[in-house]
Structure 1
Amino acid sequence: MEALLNVAELIDHFRALSEVVPLHPIRTEHDYDEAVNAMNALLDAGAADETHPLADLVATLGELIADYDQAHYAFPDVTGVDALRFLMEQHHLTQAQVPEIGSQGVVSEILKGRRELNVRQIRALAARFDVATSVFFPTDAPVPA
């Protein structure tokens, strides 16, 4: 990089790029939609590959989108039991239909908060429902490998 910046030239290039890719903090839903659309177009063009010339642009745009998501679409804290209950409802399962946890009595105790899910049960549930094991751990708990 040259020691002296040509600021006027830099401004022109930034404006041209910003017309296509919104490189600024996302402040509105409209900004968010534009950023997501630009990100999708870049990803479709192959910029998800770290060796792609626009990979750093995708990473920067991704960080701007993530900042907005975190500020505006934060998920409530959900326990592993909440996730289990949700998945059981979505799949129309009874307590007896979740043998990965154990007997119907064990499932009942877990759903009532009398017992906690163990690592074996969590891994089995994650495999059954095709979700990450982290779904069943509190957000502040370390996730075992």
Structure 2
Amino acid sequence: MYSEKGKFIYSSAGSARMPGTPGFAWIISNIKLVFTDMEPLKFKIIKSVRQYNQYCKMLEELVMVNKKSVHHRDAIELLEWLIARWDDENNTFSDEDPIGVLRYLMKDHHLKSVDLSKLLGISTSLVSDVLNYRRGLSKEIIRKLSDHFKVSQELFNRPYELKAPTKA
């Protein structure tokens, strides 16, 4: 039983709604209609490494498309978000030092030392020194690595042991 008081309609249970707005039963029945008539989602929350790798590959392919439609850009944004969420929740780098992380990312992105030197704008000998723990990562290098690999700078900005230089 409903009664009107002021601008709201009150039910016997005490819930209120404005006149002309749908009631709870109507909302529930329409929600059921929406979800039963929905198409399956194209992308889902990443739950496995296999799915993660598939989404990474899809993202790479979408990024390479020259003329991106609104649908392309939306898919890219959604995939980036899903991948970042997976990375945040499944951070396998917490025990790894920054150079170990860098080596893993280089392998994962099929980069060699020469590629990394071009990417960072530094010499191959400096890349070699960094990868062999003879030189540390500068702030500029950390920024460039973070931007390129789309990871937090914190992964590279952690303390690690450098090897003492050997005298010839």
Between Structure 1 and Structure 2, the one with more strand by share is 2
TM above 0.5, yes or no, is: no
Please state which band the TM-score falls in when normalised by the shorter chain. Answer: 0.3 to 0.5
Q: Which has the higher contact order (CA 8 A, sep 6+)?
A: 1
Normalization by structure 2: what TM-score?
0.37
Question: Normalized against structure 1, the TM-score is what?
Answer: 0.40
Structure in which a larger fraction of residues adopt helix? 1
